[in-house]
Chains A and B, each alone.
Chain A
C-alpha cells in the first residue's frame, strides 16, 4: 500500500477497508489544502461533504448565546462534517484550520453512489460512521458536553 493509503487506513472511517477497497475510495476523494485561519465551512452552510484531516489541525466551533464555543480540535486522522454524508441539513458548527492543513474530501453524492454500486464498501463506511456517532452520543451522555453534537 502507498503511504497515502496507509494514512487513509489509519483513520477510523476507513480502517475496515481492504487495500483494493481503499484504492477505490481514494479514487473518489478530492484533495484540498487550507492555510492557517482559513475557514473550511461555516455554521449554517449546507453540507455537501465529509473532510478527513491528512495533516495539520482543525478547530470546530459554534456560536452559543452570542459567544464562540470551541467544540473540538482535530488531529490528523480525524474527520468532521460527517453528518453531511447522511443528509443535506445545515452545518452545526464552523470548521477552521489552526495550521496549514491537507484534507481529503468525500463528497456526499460519491458516497451515496458508492452505497448503491458497492454495498460492501458502503456498509463498512456506514458502520464506521454509525460507531463514530454512537461514540459521540455516549460521550455526550456521560460528560454532559452538548457541544459534541455539533461535530
Chain B
C-alpha cells in the first residue's frame, strides 16, 4: 500500500502546511483538554478490541451486539483486575486510603531528607551550603500552603476529569459499532473523481493511527514487564501494578517518565525506610528501563509506526509541549502522523490536473442533468437547450 505514497514525495510548501496544521490542531486541543485523555484511551481500546469484535461479527453477531459484548467483557475484566490489584498489596497499609497515601508521602519526604543528610555527610561543601535546611524550607513552604493554594484546584480537577474519563468506554463502544459506518459516510461525501484516492487517504489515516496506538500498547506491555521484573528483583511491593502505572505515565514524553520515577521511589522508600538502597535500586532500575525503552523498545514499536524523521519528531515534541502542555506532548506525534498523511494526499489531489478536470466535467454533467427541463424559453424558440447541447467530452 505504499505505492501511492512512494511515487510522489511532498515538497516544502506541503510540509510547512502540515506542521502549521498540526500546531493549530494542538492549540484547539488545548481548549478540549477534557476530551483529549478519554479520546486517547478510547482510541487505544478501540484498536485493542477491534479484532475480537470482527471475529464475533463474522460468526454471526450484529455489530451492535459484538461491540457491546467485547466492551462489557473487557471493562468487566479490567475492573476486576483493578480491584484485585488494589486489594492484593504486600506493602505497608493503614486503615483508610487517606492514611495510606499520607504514609507513602511521608515515606517519600523521609527518603529525600535521608538522601540530603547522606549527601551532606559525603560532600562537606553541601553541608556548608545548608542543603538540608534549604530543601526543608522549600518543602515546608510548599506543604504549609498546599491546602489553601492547591486543594481547590485538585478537587475541581478531579471533579472535571473523572466524569470525562468515564467517556472512554463509551467512545470505544461507538468507535467499534459505528467506525465503519462513519468511514463510509465520509467517503460518500467525496466526489467521484477523487473517490479512490480519498478511500486510500482514509485507509492510510486509519493505518497511521492504528500503527501508533498499537505501537504504544506494545511499548506499554514491554515497559510494564521489564520494570515489574526489575522492581520484583530488588524487593519493591506490588511490582506489576507499579510497572503498569509507570508505563502508562510514560505515554507523556519526559513529564510522565519523571512522575513514574517519583512514584516508584516513594513506594520503594516507604517499603524499606531503613534501607535507602532499595529506593536507589529502584531509581537505577527505572533509569535502565528508560534507556532500554528509548534505544531498543521505542525504535522497535513507535519508531517504525509513523515514518517521521527523528529530528522532526523531537522538535515537534517540544512544540507540542509548548503549545498544549502535557496533552500536547502526548498527542503531537499521532496528530503529526495523521496530518502528514492527509496533507500529503491532499497536496497530490489539488495538484493533479487530470483529476480536477474530471471533477469539473462531472460537475458540468450534474448541472446539465439538474437543469434538463428548466430552459423553457430556449425550448420555445426551438433553440438547443443546455440539456441537449453536448458537453465537450474528456478524452
- Interface residues of chain A, those whose CB is within 8 Å of chain B, are 20, 24, 27-28, 30-32, 34-42, 45-49, 88, 105, 107-109, 117-118
Contact = CB atoms under 8 A, between A and B. Distances in A.
A48 B197 contact: yes
Contacts of A88: 1, 3-4
Interface in B352-395: 354, 358, 361-362, 365-366, 369, 391, 393-394
9 contacts: A24-B57, A27-B180, A31-B188, A34-B192, A35-B362, A88-B1, A105-B195, A109-B203, A117-B58
A139 B1 CA distance: 31
Contacts of B70: none
Contacts of B153: none
Interface in B156-209: 180, 184, 187-188, 192-193, 195-197, 199-200, 203
A148 to B, nearest CB: 23
B197 A40 contact: no
A28 B180 CA distance: 8
B390 to A, nearest CB: 9
B60 interface: yes
Interface of B: 1, 3-4, 7, 51, 54-55, 57-58, 60, 63, 180, 184, 187-188, 192-193, 195-197, 199-200, 203, 354, 358, 361-362, 365-366, 369, 391, 393-394
Contacts of A38: 192, 361-362, 365
Given A24-B58, A39-B394, A117-B54, A32 B195 contact: yes
Nearest to B200: A48
B356 to A, nearest CB: 13
Contacts of B361: 38-39
Contacts of B57: 24
Contacts of A31: 188
Contacts of A40: 192
B199 A107 contact: yes
B358 A37 contact: no
A32 B199 CA distance: 12
